[in-house]
Chain A
Amino acid sequence: MTDDPIAEMLLRCAAQDRAAFRAIYSATSSKLFGLLIRILGDRAEAEDALQEVFTRVWLKAARYDGARGTGMAWLVALARNHAIDRLRARPQTTAEMPEDIADDRMRPETRLIATGELARMSTCFDQLEPDRASAVRGAYLQGLSYTDLAARFDVPLNTMRTWLRRSLLSLRDCLNQ
């Protein structure tokens, strides 16, 4: 636990330590804000979302379980889940989705400097077909739904689902190796 300062701060938040709460905001808000802007595509909405996310961080800190992942992974999941709830509550706007999935492919320089978990993830992504890897990235980084992905890749929704489920399970098997 000592090598995960975010996890330690979460444990202190769970014990009602408000100084730890401020510290966790300083340490992680830029990363979560960048992610929220990326998924929501709107800075003002991302600010609302960030406020909501940190409110939940305090309220739910006791549910963080260090055995299940790093503190940062838990925060990222909390932020993404909230952003995706917001996206899904929007009226359907599939036609207006940005067409920049290609930008989400790992840039070569990113690949070179990637270390640890990201490097492993990168290796496992390379084993997927390029289209399928970019579908997983589009879902993760832009909050695309199955409907959005099927439209983007111009395949029936069930086909997209079969592809994506298979890709996710092979990713899992690769990451668990």
Chain B
Amino acid sequence: MTDPARPDDDDDALAAELALGVLEGEERAAAQTRAARDPAFAARVAAWEAHLAPLADQVAPVPAPNLMPAIEARLFAQDRRERRFRIGALIGAGFASVAMMLLAVAFLWMTPAPAVQVHMQTADAATAYDATFDGFKLTVVRSAGQAAPTGQVHELWIIAPGKDPVSLGLLQDRPLVVGYPTPPAGWTLAVSVEPAGGAPAGKPTGPVVMATEITL
């Protein structure tokens, strides 16, 4: 496939394929994972991105709407939370988790709620998950389709109106069961595709493939 005199060509061709974006599914995910873990490979990908970038000059610019207010609201609201989190970290992770449990118990105490079912599916209905809140815990099972391809994982998020998504866990072949009270109507459950192991910074990074607003 490549010149045998250049043993690096296979790696370089793979880096080019990733930079160009022609890979799909598991192959793309595996190459992305490798770029995240292997600095030499990442450098090849970056070199290809730089090589190919002049091609983008062929596309005419289109004046963009001013999205900065929305972008800044999203980013800098997050900043405030992170600062609070750092203070929390100083107090001590153990103390924080005890406090979280107390909060969760208090929440459960205050909101006795009936079981609520939430069905989520991809646009083509090929993959679907059913979530059940029974007032104390959330159980999520896949009712159609497959788990994410190797190297990727479906991650479940809950989103309060106007807030950032909070991860509830990774959806694999076994049902996901997490202690969680029934959320109010108007909150949203969503599933994104993340690298194996889940979104690295606790915020969704991959495409959101399904989302359903909770109705009671």
Mark contacts of B62-104 with chain A using CB atoms, 8 A cut-off: 1 yes-contact digit, 0 otherwise: 1111011011101110000000000000000000000000000
A interface, CB within 8 angstroms of B = 18, 21-22, 25, 29-35, 37-38, 47, 50-51, 54-55, 58-59, 65, 68-70, 72-74, 76-77, 80-81, 84-86, 88-91, 104, 106, 110, 114, 117-118, 120-121, 136-137, 139-141, 143-147, 149, 161-162, 164-166, 168-169, 171-172, 175
Since A162-B1, A168-B13 are in contact, a sample of 11 more A-B pairs with Cβ atoms closer than 8 Å, ordered by chain A residue number, is A18-B76, A34-B59, A37-B62, A54-B68, A73-B50, A104-B58, A118-B54, A136-B20, A141-B56, A161-B1, A169-B16
- Assembly CA distance A54 to B68 (angstroms): 9
Quote the shortest CB–CB distance from B206 to chain A (angstroms).
6
If the complex has contacts A38-B59, A104-B58, A165-B2, are A72 and B20 also in contact, measured as CB distance less than 8 A?
no
Are B9 and A73 in contact, with the CB atoms below 8 A?
no
Main secondary structure of the interface of B (DSSP, over half): helix
Quote the shortest CB–CB distance from A115 to chain B (angstroms).
10
If the complex has contacts A68-B47, A146-B23, are A140 and B55 also in contact, measured as CB distance less than 8 A?
yes
Mark contacts of B37-62 with chain A using CB atoms, 8 A cut-off: 1 yes-contact digit, 0 otherwise: 00000010011111111111111111
If the complex has contacts A137-B55, A165-B16, are A51 and B71 also in contact, measured as CB distance less than 8 A?
yes
B173 contacts the other chain (Cβ, under 8 Å)?
no
Quote the shortest CB–CB distance from A170 to chain B (angstroms).
10
- Specify which chain A residues have a CB less than 8 angstroms from the CB of B19 in the assembled complex: 77
Are A169 and B13 in contact, with the CB atoms below 8 A?
yes
B177 contacts the other chain (Cβ, under 8 Å)?
no
- Specify which chain B residues have a CB less than 8 angstroms from the CB of A165 in the assembled complex: 1-2, 13, 16-17
- Specify which chain B residues have a CB less than 8 angstroms from the CB of A161 in the assembled complex: 1
B162 contacts the other chain (Cβ, under 8 Å)?
no
* B14 (CB) vs chain A CBs: closest residue: A165
- Specify which chain B residues have a CB less than 8 angstroms from the CB of A22 in the assembled complex: 68
- Interface residues in B1-32 (C-beta closer than 8 Å to A): 1-3, 6, 9, 12-13, 16-17, 19-25, 28
- Assembly CA distance A74 to B49 (angstroms): 7
- Specify which chain A residues have a CB less than 8 angstroms from the CB of B190 in the assembled complex: none
